Amino acid sequence: MNTWQTYHAENAYLGGTVDIAWLEVFREVAARGSLTAAAQALGYTQPAVSRQVAALEKATGVRLFDRLPRGVRLTEEGRFLLAHAEVVLERMRAAADGLQALRNLEAGRLRAGAIDSANAALLPRPWPLSGPCTPVSACPWPRGPHRSSSAGSATGRSTSP
């Protein structure tokens, strides 16, 4: 399980670790009012959904649903947690989208370094992009003695005096 999937709540009011998947299941059960309907929508079995809800209830230390003869209904604690779960899930979705954009070079920062005259001649303004606007900064090439970046530091500066 990676760090994107769990929240360790040792220093919070929750009594344990909360898995992001539990929040997704919780949100689906709340939206559908039924463990069975949520299971069908998520492609899980009903017992798997029930176990995940029970695990979330154990981790939070509260009952999130009233079990009814036909379905479930959020408790006051469940309504409170649902509002926060929606925010957490949206932020995780935005983080995943942002990371994907960085991987696809659709977002991020490009730094180009050259001598001042080359910066003016080689880097057009505005920088042409095919995707969303990506910040571009031009910085002067480091002054002083230089070696190739394999012989010096990552900036290309010489490591000798």
DSSP the chain: --TTTEEE-TTSSSSSEEEHHHHHHHHHHHHHT-HHHHHHHHT--HHHHHHHHHHHHHHHTS--EEEETTEEEE-HHHHHHHHHHHHHHHHHHHHHHHHHHHHTTSSS-EEEEE-HHHHHHHS-SSPP-SSS---EEEEEPPPS-B--TTTS-TTSB-S--
Q: How confident is the prediction along the chain (161 residues), in pLDDT tens digits per residue?
A: 444 445 554 444 565 678 999 999 999 999 999 999 999 999 999 999 999 999 999 999 999 999 999 999 999 999 999 999 999 999 999 999 999 988 888 877 766 666 767 766 776 666 555 444 445 555 555 555 554 444 444 444 444 44
Tokens (6 digits) for 61 = 């230390």
Domains and CATH numbers, the chain: 6-103 (1.10.10.10), 108-153 (no CATH)
Looking only at the bridges linking them, the beta strands covering 136-140 and 110-114 are parallel
| pTM of the predicted model over 0.75 | no
